[in-house]
Chains A and B, each alone.
Chain A
Amino acid sequence: NAGVTQTPKFRVLKTGQSMTLLCAQDMNHEYMYWYRQDPGMGLRLIHYSVGEGTTAKGEVPDGYNVSRLKKQNFLLGLESAAPSQTSVYFCASSLGTRNQPQHFGDGTRLSIL
């Protein structure tokens, strides 16, 4: 049982480049989330989805877009990367409401030069 899988694990981009981070879960969870984790700060929610075909903004959505075309996948896009987006990105999923334990992937370490 893989749980939550994130690809890629590491990536280096130049300012202005675009990329997509992929998250896949095999637990049939309805809810999925994208967070960023920066030193000295708690995990901050970027966007989330309450089901296939839905997306919603979190605490820090600017500069990011997301899509949930299939229930098991949640994509995070950076259209024009900026150095301020250098971070570790985590995807998570939960079974039902947002007030339930979340299952996390192992993160994508992204550096923007």
Chain B
Amino acid sequence: EDQVTQSPEALRLQEGESSSLNCSYTVSGLRGLFWYRQDPGKGPEFLFTLYSAGEEKEKERLKATLTKKESFLHITAPKPEDSATYLCAATDLNNDMRFGAGTRLTVKP
């Protein structure tokens, strides 16, 4: 069965302390790996799509990478405004999309 697992469930960082969030996936023929940001009381907001192993995408302090088994969201020198829940999702050969449960990131000033 297709699965998307995110770790850790929660992460607390000091402002400026870089770290990475992990998204492991087991899907039949990955077609796309998506990262979203979700603020409390809001819907997910799209960040990145990665389509093949080795691909990388960057946006401000965020960088997403993809291997054949997992994706990482690297956060460099985070700020308090980066606090949110980060979701990843993977689509398989049938374009069925499965979401992970998310990593709740808190950045303290």
Residues on A facing B (Cβ under 8 Å): 4, 40-45, 90, 92, 97-107
Which 5 residue pairs spanning A and B have beta carbons closest together?
A: A104-B43, A42-B99, A98-B95, A101-B46, A43-B99
Residues of chain A within 8 A (CB-CB) of B34 are 101
B22 at the interface (CB under 8 A from A): no
Chain B 76-109, CB-CB to A under 8 Å as 1, else 0, gives 0000000000010101000111111110000000
Contact indicator A107/B98 (Cβ below 8 Å): no
Which of the residues A4, A40, A101 comes within 8 Å of B43, measured between beta carbons? A4
Of B46, B96, B98, B102, which one neighbours A102 at CB under 8 angstroms? B46
Question: Within 8 Å of chain A (Cβ to Cβ): is B49?
Answer: yes
A43 touches B42 (CB 8 A): no
CA–CA, A102 and B46, complex, Å? 7
Given A40-B101, A99-B31, A101-B46, decide whether A106 and B95 contact each other with a Cβ distance below 8 A: no
Tell me if A42 and B95 are in contact (CB < 8 A). Answer: no
Residues of A within 8 A of B62 (CB): none
Within 8 A of A (CB), among B9-50: 31-32, 34, 41-46, 49
Is the beta-carbon distance between A42 and B43 smaller than 8 angstroms?
no
Nearest Cβ on chain A to B8's Cβ, whole angstroms: 13
Residue pair A41, B101 in contact (C-beta under 8 Å): yes
Given known A-B contacts A99-B32, A101-B49, A106 and B96 have beta carbons under 8 A apart = no
* A98/B4 in contact, CB under 8 A: no
Whole-angstrom distance between the alpha carbons of A101 and B44 in the complex?
A: 11
15 A-B pairs whose Cβ atoms sit less than 8 Å apart in the complex = A40-B101, A42-B100, A42-B102, A43-B44, A44-B99, A45-B96, A92-B43, A97-B95, A98-B96, A101-B34, A102-B44, A104-B44, A107-B41, A107-B42, A107-B43
Q: What are the residues of chain B within 8 A of A42 when measuring CB–CB?
A: 4, 87, 89, 98-102
CA separation between A67 and B45, bound complex, in Å? 25
In the complex, the chain B residue whose C-beta lies closest to that of A43 is B99
